[in-house]
């Protein structure tokens, strides 16, 4: 199961071209949904206004070299290590989900576009990477969902309570879970109807995940780095009016 691409196995009745077009369509949905969200919520307008205000209130000039350094630090701290999370458990859960999702998506794209059929077998590392990425998403996502959410851990609400803000994480977990179930059923049965059922459910849940970008928190992964970079620039040029962050008591996570 871990040595072959699950997508190559279905190429006998789903054309590789169809799978490739589907992935391109999902990418376009993410791009279009994010742009729609930016226009609808006027996020771009807010950032540009904040940037102009920061520039106008600056007391210390920030050169191109320092700007590049701030961008690199933003990528290294806020994106790659999620250092904005003060709680260690939330940070670990977020990193598991983030890196797992990256591995899962990258492996999917490579297998579908470069190794779409059994005649072009994928290197063993790709199916392994796909499965490891999926398991990381589920570990981080379910840990967050059942134990770390604020309304569950601190407000005592049921973990099965759903609100609109949960659309992204729920659709992500359902999609990845069904993907793994489909892979297992496909590998352990011989063309049964259940393989097709779980494949259809997997496609449906994945479509919901990427098509619901304007209504979920998916686009926040693009806003947060921009906001973090803007905050660093404001601190560097002296225009920030935010108080210094309080120190976390030693031993508190």
Q: Which runs of consecutive H residues, i.e. helices, occur in 1-87?
A: 6-9, 16-41, 43-57, 64-74
Per residue in 80-100, is it b (16+ CB within 10 Å) or e — as a string? eebeeeeeeebbbbbbbbbbb
Tokens describing residue 222: 């693009």
| Domain boundaries defined on the chain | 6-56+63-237
- Return the residue matching tokens 């290294």: 76
Q: How far apart are CA 196 and CA 44, in angstroms?
A: 42
Q: How many CA atoms within 13 Å lie on the side-chain side of 229?
A: 19
Give me the pLDDT at residue 57, please.
76
- Which pLDDT does position 173 carry in this prediction? 96
Whether 145 and 187 have beta carbons less than 8 Å apart is answered as no
CA triple 219-223-228, angle to 5 deg: 150
| Amino acid 249: pLDDT | 47
Answer for the pair 137, 16: CB distance below 8 angstroms, yes or no: no
Low-confidence ranges of the chain (pLDDT < 50): 248-253
Which pTM value belongs to this model?
0.80
State the pLDDT at residue 248.
47
Q: What is the Cα–Cα distance from 226 to 17, expressed in whole angstroms?
A: 35
pLDDT of residue 38: 74
């Amino acid at each position: 199961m871990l040595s072959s691409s699950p997508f190559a196995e279905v190429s006998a009745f789903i054309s590789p071209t169809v799978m490739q077009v589907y992935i391109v369509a999902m990418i376009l949905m993410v791009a279009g949904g994010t742009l729609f969200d930016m226009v609808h919520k006027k996020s771009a307008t807010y950032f540009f206004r904040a940037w102009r205000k920061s520039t106008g209130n600056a007391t210390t000039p920030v050169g191109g070299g320092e700007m590049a350094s701030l961008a690199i630090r933003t990528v290294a701290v806020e994106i790659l290590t999620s250092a904005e999370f003060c709680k260690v458990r939330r940070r670990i859960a977020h990193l598991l989900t983030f890196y797992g999702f990256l591995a899962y998506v990258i492996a999917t794209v490579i297998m579908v576009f470069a190794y779409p059929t059994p005649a072009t077998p994928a290197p063993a590392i790709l199916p392994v990477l796909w499965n490891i990425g999926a398991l990381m998403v589920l570990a981080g996502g379910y840990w967050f969902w059942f134990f770390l959410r604020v309304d569950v851990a601190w407000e005592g609400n049921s973990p099965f309570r759903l609100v609109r803000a949960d659309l992204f994480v729920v659709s992500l977990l359902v999609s990845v879970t069904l993907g793994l179930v489909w892979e297992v059923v496909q590998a352990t049965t011989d063309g049964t109807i259940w393989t097709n059922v779980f494949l259809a459910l997997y496609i449906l849940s994945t479509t919901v995940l990427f098509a619901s970008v304007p209504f979920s928190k998916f686009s926040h992964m693009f806003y947060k780095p921009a906001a973090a970079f803007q905050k660093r620039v404001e601190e560097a040029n002296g225009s920030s009016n935010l108080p210094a962050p309080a120190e976390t008591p030693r031993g508190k996570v």
